[in-house]
Amino acid sequence: MTTRLLSLLLAACLAACSPKYNWRDHASPDARYRVTFPAKPASTTRTIDLDGMRVDMTMTAAEVDGATFAVGAAEAPDAARARAALEAMKLALLRNIGADPARISTASASASASNDGGSRSAIDVDATGPGPGGGQPMRLVGHFEARGKRFYQVIVVGRDQAVPPEQIEQFFTSFTLQ
């Protein structure tokens, strides 16, 4: 009986030591980005409508304790429409958490030439809203970027205060375009 009790205690200690965030690298096979997810990600592709522009977006995401870490990637017909998609994605995600877009300021917005000679635009946002149906408050931290005809959304969304700032920072700083 003591051997069994010792085995159970050892198993409990090992379970208590398992990391909540199990960071792993992910390279998109077609969208030319790399990122580190806090758990094993899953991918899906579906057609979305961004202010009248229908595109196939591939979302790759992982969830930890009710917070979703995700990267979405798609290609627009041209660079101008890819840049317009950034604002459309931001507004749709703000509406999803019940945030009033008129009361949210973007942390940064930029437009420049990228290293490959194409255009580059980016918008960053950190917002909270009452959640769907006015339920539990939700937080959205997002980076929306367009490079030429391709555009990306890098987001963390979940209960307000559910994700420590260092985990958000690790996710966003790991995102790189190739």
pLDDT score for 118: 57
pLDDT score for 15: 41
pLDDT score for 115: 47
Location of structure tokens 């963390």? 156
pLDDT score for 178: 86
pLDDT score for 47: 97
**Predicted TM-score of the model (pTM):** 0.83
- Answer whether 61's CB lies under 8 Å from 41's CB: yes
- Answer whether 91's CB lies under 8 Å from 48's CB: no
How many Cα atoms within 13 Å fall on the side-chain side of residue 104?
Answer: 25
Domains and CATH numbers, the chain: 21-177 (3.40.1000)
The pLDDT averaged over each successive group of 10 residues in the chain (178 residues) is 42 48 94 96 96 96 95 97 96 92 65 55 93 84 96 94 89 96
- Answer whether 34's CB lies under 8 Å from 26's CB: yes
pLDDT score for 163: 79
